[in-house]
Amino acid sequence: MQQTNRLRPFFENITFDRDDNELVLNFGPQHPSAHGQLRLMLHLQQEQIVKAHPDVGYLHRGMEKMAENMIYNEFMPTTDRMDYIASSSNNYGFALAVEELIGLEVPRRAKVIRMMLLETNRLMSHLFWLATTALDIGAMTVFLYAFREREYLMDLIEDYCGARLTHSAVRIGGVPLDLPDNFMGDLRKFLEKLPENIKDYEDLLDTNRIWKMRMEKVGVISTEMALSWGCTGPMLRASGVKWDIRKEEPYELYDEVDFDVPYSDKGDNYARYKIYMMEMRESAKILHQLIPMYFDTTPELMAHAPKYISAPKIDIMTQNYSLMQHFVLVTQGMRPPVGEVYIPTESPKGELGFYINSQGGPYPYRLKLRAPSFWHTGILTDLLPGHYIPDVVSIIGTTNIVFGEVDR
């Protein structure tokens, strides 16, 4: 029986503090521009923010706890749910951390395919960012165009692994599948069109008066502040630090491809917007270079390490020892050596790090997910005061936070 008096409707969104004329505004967690589940408690003097408390945790699923009770391969689909806009980058970050822990070398073709997945995911994420941020600011047209291009990429990923959002397309030790026949052709076609599309977005936004008013000199993050708050990725690069993990601490084949790291010393929303646009071009450049690299490789897809990785399907079906090994690896799980690693990768949002402490068991003893968005949400505490209410939306937009990753 419902006790109606315990569920009384009342206006919890606004309270007036009569003493000092300060207004407390509760922004979210269901606000459409809160990018999921962000709740902000804003203390206002007139329309100016004097204090901001970001409140997170509405999407907390306890992934670190889940990881401690799963075998390593079992955890892979869970990583999809972190940054669900670019889930292959999470898969990859986890796979790379476990590979470093057990010291595996991945076959070259798998590396190329992984890089293709990472860069298509970066494009997807940036397009999604552009679409939603433009929509938040009020530019509906850009939203439609950017989602159209993102749809092509999703189709491409779907052709590869069958999923559109939660890919699980990377395995520890390699990738599960080779690229389908139509993949390269479709990718080429897409890459031919992409520069025009990016130019279209820029034509719509770059000199747009409203866009510039909402973006320029709004949400300025100084270099010290960005470093101190642990900002990474485009957030840090827009604040004058030229730091891209792909370039500085290269993993996979990023040292073999040629690309630039765009950065800016402005630190405002507009700088971040420009960096996202430029990064899309760089990703396209990397993808262009990957196509011939793919054809130079031999067809191995998974590393050969019988202690940790199952043999190829053909061996499992024909050879007794491979079948036994596979059975043990599936039922008990692999047992990485005792030790710990912290492996950072450059996800579309910033530095995605996996800290794994293994005690030699089939379950990680401790797994810490270092998600970039967590710190990009934290910085709102220091960033928002001094700004006005409409700036909140554009600042949240350009921080590009995804709550699957903040709350984990």
Partner 1 sequence: MRAYTDKKDVQKKAYYTDRYWVAPQVPKSTVESDEVFAADLEAIKAKFDVIEAYIQVKQMVVMIKPEDNYGVLELLKDECDYTQLSEMSAIDWIADKGQLEVFYQLLSMNKRKRIRVKCFIDQEQAVESVNPLFRSADWAEREAYDMLGLKVNNHPFMKRILMPDDWEGHPLHKTYPLQGDEFAQWYEVDKIFGKEARDIIGPENRDPAMVDRYDTERFGRLGHEVPRGAEPKESKGPEPTTPLAYQEDDGVFMIEKFEEEKSVVIRDRDR
Nearer to partner 1 by C-beta: 107 or 350?
350
CB 355 within 8 A of CB 366: yes
Interaction between residue 240 and partner 1 (CB under 8 A): no
CA distances from 406 to 12, 59, 61, 127 (A): 25, 8, 11, 20
Interaction between residue 83 and partner 1 (CB under 8 A): no
Other CB atoms within a 10 A radius of the CB of residue 156 amount to 22
Interaction between residue 183 and partner 1 (CB under 8 A): no
Nearer to partner 1 by C-beta: 65 or 188?
65
Residues 361-400 contacting partner 1, CB under 8 A: 361-363, 365-366, 368, 370, 374-375, 378-379, 381-382
Nearest distance in Å: CB 339, partner 1? 3
Interaction between residue 243 and partner 1 (CB under 8 A): yes
Among 225, 261, 305, 316, binds partner 1 (CB under 8 A): 225
Among 344, 348, 397, 404, binds partner 1 (CB under 8 A): 344
Residues 6+ apart with CB under 8 A from 13: 25, 26
Interaction between residue 9 and partner 1 (CB under 8 A): yes
DSSP summary character for residue 379? T
Nearest distance in Å: CB 392, partner 1? 19
Question: Which segment (41-49, 99-107, 137-145, 180-188) binds partner 1 by CB under 8 A?
Answer: 99-107
Nearer to partner 1 by C-beta: 169 or 402?
402
CB 275 within 8 A of CB 263: yes
Report the run of H or E that residue 34 belongs to, with start and end: none
Interaction between residue 335 and partner 1 (CB under 8 A): yes
Please list the alpha-helical segments (H only) found in 162-268: 183-205, 209-215, 223-228, 234-237, 245-248
CA distances from 232 to 21, 44, 45, 322 (A): 37, 29, 32, 43
Interaction between residue 228 and partner 1 (CB under 8 A): yes
With CA atoms as reference, report the closest residue to 392 among 144, 128, 53: 53
Question: Which segment (23-31, 67-75, 85-93, 264-272) binds partner 1 by CB under 8 A?
Answer: 67-75
Cis peptide before 336 (omega within 30 of 0): no
Tell me, letter by letter, the H, E, C secondary structure of 46-108: CCEEEEEEEECCCCCCCHHHHHCCCCHHHHHHHHHCCCCCCHHHHHHHHHHHHHHHHCCCCCH
Interaction between residue 357 and partner 1 (CB under 8 A): yes
Residue listed under structure tokens 């202690």: 307
Calculate helix-pair angle for 140-161, 183-205, nearest 10 degrees.
170
Question: Which segment (14-22, 82-90, 176-184, 330-338) binds partner 1 by CB under 8 A?
Answer: 330-338
Nearer to partner 1 by C-beta: 40 or 142?
40
Contact string (CB under 8 A) for partner 1, positions 103-142, x = contact? x---------------------------------------
CB 24 within 8 A of CB 43: yes
Interaction between residue 18 and partner 1 (CB under 8 A): no
Interaction between residue 222 and partner 1 (CB under 8 A): no
The Cα 327–Cα 325 span in angstroms is 5
Interaction between residue 339 and partner 1 (CB under 8 A): yes
Q: Which residues bind partner 1 (CB under 8 A)?
A: 1-10, 56-57, 60, 62, 64-65, 68-70, 100-101, 103, 225, 227-230, 232, 241, 243, 248-249, 332-333, 335-344, 351, 353, 355, 357-363, 365-366, 368, 370, 374-375, 378-379, 381-382, 407-408
